[in-house]
Structure 1
């Protein structure tokens, strides 16, 4: 098909040309001649010149395979892999779903919302052409490209290299999360500080390491395929053909009232927070997603979030109190965005040690009002991400101080038993002495404070010097006065005599 009549023909030809690109560049097994390929490619160019507003971002004419800073090839995508809105209570979830429903004019009758586990790993997009895995890219964001990871994904569990039932389709896309189980994470000698960082590190390597990639698993969360419109049904069809689907917690019926939906969500979340302890994978929440794919284009998206779904973040289970030491900043290689990172005394949560936490932008970091030396509470959100929750109330923002023990108070018994005993008034708390800092604080000059003994000695020395200086000043004043009086007396005595001498002359 070299002549394109409409957009559907154009989209189909894009898929055909990309399939031949994969056979030529990826498999080194072309099935058509160069003249046939050129005819299809030029047909795409001609249609795109006449319909500039219909050009697909992953068209072969638009792609430019390049090396990024990590030496990985970038591949164009047809649509962006966006994140989702993060919510923390049932009422907010219902409000968000209702807002999208009204904005897209979706009827409540028969509208379902799927509820599934949210795994925190590396987002990966797989593209099958005529049933053969042809593209694999990782990373999410608003950009219409991703990092090539085709060689890595071939060794990841739960990714079939060929799906015979899709042989009649020019293009099928499956999106999901690449994660590592707790068991493999514990066994992996090169594991990072968290399962998420470990899976990301393995996928980001320039050259795929087979033994490391085999530790990972792919769990799909979206199927993009002609004729497929229902999400829950689509996920169920992936299991028999070799994919590891995470399964569903439950589903919501938007025909119910807001109060009933809130109660249903509370029940689902409570059940999930109990069941998550038995899951072999790290999870940080639940995903609430409209079941009908046809609603997605109507609902729309922002530059950061796909509005047809949202994430309910679990309340943190692991918490710790530590001492804040300061902060440092990092700058994104691609975006140039400045991120503030808090530094604190190392703590252990969920079997892992942490000494730093990402605090986001300068505005977000400033709102926490952290002071070096103050006590802060940190928690492990979703068992995978360490966060600074804020300063601990009623804690002084100083270095750790020794506890001053109070002497036991003895209350003497009154001789007259018939009278009430007088209770000794509570002592007025005295400020605790500050200890000397033996190390510089991050972000501030070195602070050194003298001990109490040195201070007492200095005060005593200063008192003696002051007394001596005062005495000397008094003596000098008295001496000066005496001398002045002597001069005055001499003047009174000799002035008449001088006057008489000059008078006789």
Structure 2
């Protein structure tokens, strides 16, 4: 089998695994069983071991194997990483609304998008050329800790950005450089499964 054919086969397998991981970890709507997914991963890992020259840092196999770091380098945020303010009653909410209107310079009705606030670990993900290059915690808002190795093990964090439109849109290509900020958290069902597994091994977390 030529290198070109093998590279295509490996790339196709990676795309298939990423698609299944996205459906499982993000959409919560898997199309294959865990056993079938593991079989695809074993096949990819075997091909990459046979052809180390075709290995890639954003391959699904790179999420495991390297242990998460326990000692972290400091990272200076390009822009301050601030936290959300609190509104404890309706008066606080009205004051916030009025402040937004003043900032926008309008008296017109403003449409808002509301979503639950997830209380997790605030992180900043840096992508260069579409690939995850660094992940950092908020820290004190100015300086955080480099937790890239740890974040690479989180299946719902893409190691590489890709367009999901059926037809690529030249007007909105993947940015050369972008930072995404959000919260890393564990769903209760996943936490309970982890606790059960650790308990069976004689450990437990709370």
Query: Which TM bucket (shorter chain)?
Result: 0.5 to 0.7
Counterpart position of 1:132: 131
Alpha-carbon distance between aligned partners in 2 of 1:192 and 1:134, rounded to the nearest angstrom: 30
Q: Equivalent residue for 1:162?
A: 160
Q: Is the 8 A contact 1:132 1:167 kept in 2?
A: no
SS in 1 for 2:115: strand
Match in the other structure for 1:340 = none
What is the rounded CA distance, in whole Å, between the counterparts of 1:130 and 1:163 in structure 2?
9
Change (3 A) 1:135 1:167: farther
- Distance in 2 separating the partners of 1:128 and 1:191: 35
The offset of 1:153, in angstroms, is 1.0
In structure 1, the partner of 2:119 is 120
Which fold has the larger relative contact order, with Cα–Cα distance below 8 Å and residues 6 or more apart in sequence? 2
1:175 Cα offset (Å): 0.8
Residue among 173, 179, 186 paired with 1:173: 179
Instruction: Describe the shift of the 1:146–1:177 C-alpha distance in structure 2 as closer, same or farther (beyond 3 A).
Output: same
**Structure 2 residue 77 is the aligned partner of structure 1 residue 71:** no
For residues 104 and 125 of structure 2, the distance between their equivalents in structure 1, rounded to whole angstroms, comes to 32
Larger Rg: 1
Gaps of 5+ in 1: 1-26, 28-69, 194-505
Change (3 A) 1:146 1:191: farther
Alignment of 1:92-241 (within 5 A): 92-102=92-102, 104-109=103-108, 111-143=110-142, 145-165=143-163, 169-187=175-193, 188=195, 189=198, 192-193=205-206
Please give the alpha-carbon distance, in whole angstroms, between the structure 2 residues aligned to 1:191 and 1:173.
35
TM-superposed deviation, 1:140 = 4.2
- Note the 1:427-442 alignment, pairs <5 A: none
Instruction: Please give the secondary structure, in 2, of the residue aligned with 1:186.
Output: helix
- 1:89 partnered with 2:89: yes
Residues 390-411 of structure 1, C-alpha deviations (whole Å, 9 max, x = no match)? xxxxxxxxxxxxxxxxxxxxxx
Contact 1:127 1:136 (8 Å CA) reproduced: yes
Deviation at 1:110, TM superposition (A): 5.4
Query: Alpha-carbon deviation of 1:113?
Result: 2.1
Instruction: Note the C-alpha offset of 1:154.
Output: 1.1
Post-superposition offset of 1:170: 2.1
The alpha-carbon deviation at position 122 of structure 1 amounts to: 0.3
- 1-side partners of 2:174 and 2:181: how far apart? 20
Residues 125 and 180 in structure 2, CA contact (< 8 A), matched pair in contact too: yes
Map 1:294-443 onto structure 2 (within 5 A).
none
8 Å Cα contact 1:129/1:167 also seen in 2: no
Q: Which of the pair is proportionally richer in strand? A: 1
Contact 2:129 2:177 in 1 (8 A): yes
> Residue 77 of structure 2 contacts residue 141 of structure 2 at CA under 8 Å; is this kept in 1?
no
Deviation for aligned residue 1:105? 4.8
Q: Cα–Cα, structure 1 residues 134 and 184, in superposed 2: closer, same or farther, change >3 Å?
A: same
